Structure 1
Amino acid sequence: MNAIQVKGIRLFAPSSRKELIDEAFAQKKILVAVNAEKILMADQEFSDFISANIGYPDGVGAVWLLQRRGYSQASKIPGVELWLDIINERHQINTFYLVGGKEEVIQATVSKIKQEFPTISILGYRNGYIQSDEEKDDLINDIKSKRPDVIFIAMGSPKQEKLMEELQKVHSAVYQGLGGSFDVYTGRVERAPKWWLDNNLEWAYRLIKEPRRIKRQIKLVRFLRYLI
């Protein structure tokens, strides 16, 4: 896959979602959603983490950056959709493990997945509220024992990245951080309507719904310098 470097971050420009998924399985790496905010806020440690794995364009800012660097066909690949693409494509040949959300959310997520994909093999799951080193050790040991092919971690940044990095050291698999994707999947959080998504205006819709995000959005003006 083609890639560019920006602020020490290697950002891939996949030609399709399938290419991105195939690359993740070929390398057994962590899929890291990259947007303008992550690029701006990344310190050296986080930049190195993304570059050691597979950073993909999850936000329109990352897409614009790729397009400015010559990849005119670059398109947004929302992580909230990508994990379901992986399940759809690989559920008959790979095994899965899910971590994240409140207890009722992870229960509802697993139940819905099993309804939509009756033949899927989910080897384990738990909520995202890991309260102690003992709980984390139990999770690590369970994953080491069951050896799933794909692990989804929905805890938000940077918690999910730190956990995935730790897990990757003891068990090689495809990992993806999902933020609040389980809440969206189970209908607890509403995503932007199709028109807003099709016109790369999901950020604007979220701003209308959550005006307090304006401070974060104003900071993103600094990202424009990477597009010049």
Structure 2
Amino acid sequence: MTQPFETVNVLGFDFINTTQTNFIEQLKQDCLNHQNRFIVTANPEIVLAAKNDAHYAQIIQTADYLTADGIGIVKGAKILGTPLPERVTGYDTMMALLAWCHEQHKKVFFVGAKPQVIQAVKAKIKTEYPGIAIAGAFDGYFKDDQPIVQAIAQSQPDFVFCALGFPKQEYFINKNRTVASAIWMGVGGAFDVLAGTAKRAPKWWIDHHVEWLYRLLKEPSRFGRMLALPKYLLLVYQSKFNH
């Protein structure tokens, strides 16, 4: 595809240089034009994982749009002297697209999360976004992805939201995206927030770029994962001084 956005390179990965609003408008156009698109919403953890896994890195580099989901990516770009305007998060993108899909009567397919979470997602869509046709909804606890892929191929949805966590969601999309001309997007833990089983940080924490700290306070078990941020920033500074 011809990339409609300029990009900013952070540690070998080309992030789209745009705002949340402009990105959502582009996706609406892509959908109306029946384009097949693969979106990766990346934070420092995903970048580090890709730096340590050549195959995963290759998959991320095949994405049509790579967005700066984590504030660490925005900070990294600024340190490197190529600033990005803001975070473009998977959750906010998904919620804006669901509202649009409701208005436009689009078909949406959901894959991922726990069985009770996906049931709650279906219930929420039916009550709050009745204009959406649920093309399919499968939890993330599958051994064989073929029944899911066949269901996507048969239903031909406009959007496939995949909440399998990284790197599983990116592997799934990369492997199967050819079966439907849809917008395919990895959304991590977004179904839990949509279902109400997990809370997103309050607005103040998000606005002050400390959503990560809120999540750590709520889930101390995330501490090991949070160590990705200092490791990532060290790589950013090394990259800056090597250039």
Same fold (TM over 0.5): yes
Task: Indicate whether 1:175 and 2:184 are aligned.
Answer: yes
> In the aligned structure 1, how far is the partner of 2:189 from the partner of 2:223?
20
Other-structure match for 2:132: 120
Shift of residue 62, structure 1, vs aligned partner: 0.9
Amino acid at match of 2:40: V
Shift of residue 217, structure 1, vs aligned partner: 2.5
Task: Return 5+ residue gaps in structure 1 as ranges.
Answer: none
> In the aligned structure 1, how far is the partner of 2:19 from the partner of 2:89?
14
Change (3 A) 1:76 1:84: same
> In the aligned structure 2, how far is the partner of 1:5 from the partner of 1:153?
25
SS at match of 2:185: strand
Other-structure match for 1:142: 151
1:11-50 counterparts in 2 under 5 A? 11-23=15-27, 26=30, 27-42=35-50, 43-50=53-60
> In the aligned structure 1, how far is the partner of 2:83 from the partner of 2:9?
16
Residues 36, 180 of structure 2: 8 Å contact kept: no
Q: Could you state the TM-score of these two structures normalised by the residue count of structure 2?
A: 0.84
1:25-80 deviations in whole A, cap 9, x for unaligned? 53522111111111122122222212211110100011112334555451112212
Residues 24, 31 of structure 1: 8 Å contact kept: no
Residues 98, 151 of structure 1: 8 Å contact kept: yes
Residues 154, 182 of structure 1: 8 Å contact kept: yes
Task: Return 5+ residue gaps in structure 2 as ranges.
Answer: none
Amino acid at match of 2:191: F
Structure number with greater CO (CA < 8 Å, separation at least 6) is: 2
Task: Indicate whether 1:63 and 2:62 are aligned.
Answer: no
Other-structure match for 1:214: 223
The number of residue pairs the alignment matches comes to 225
SS at match of 2:227: helix
Q: Alignment partner for residue 96 of structure 1, among 104, 108, 120?
A: 108
Residues 38, 185 of structure 2: 8 Å contact kept: yes
> In the aligned structure 1, how far is the partner of 2:28 from the partner of 2:12?
21
Give the superposed CA RMSD: 2.1
Other-structure match for 2:166: 157
Residues 21, 86 of structure 1: 8 Å contact kept: no
Quote the sequence identity (%): 33
Amino acid at match of 1:100: G
> In the aligned structure 2, how far is the partner of 1:158 from the partner of 1:177?
9
Task: Indicate whether 1:80 and 2:84 are aligned.
Answer: no
Change (3 A) 1:21 1:34: farther
> In the aligned structure 1, how far is the partner of 2:60 from the partner of 2:29?
17
Amino acid at match of 2:179: V
> In the aligned structure 1, how far is the partner of 2:73 from the partner of 2:162?
22
Q: Could you state the TM-score of these two structures normalised by the residue count of structure 1?
A: 0.89
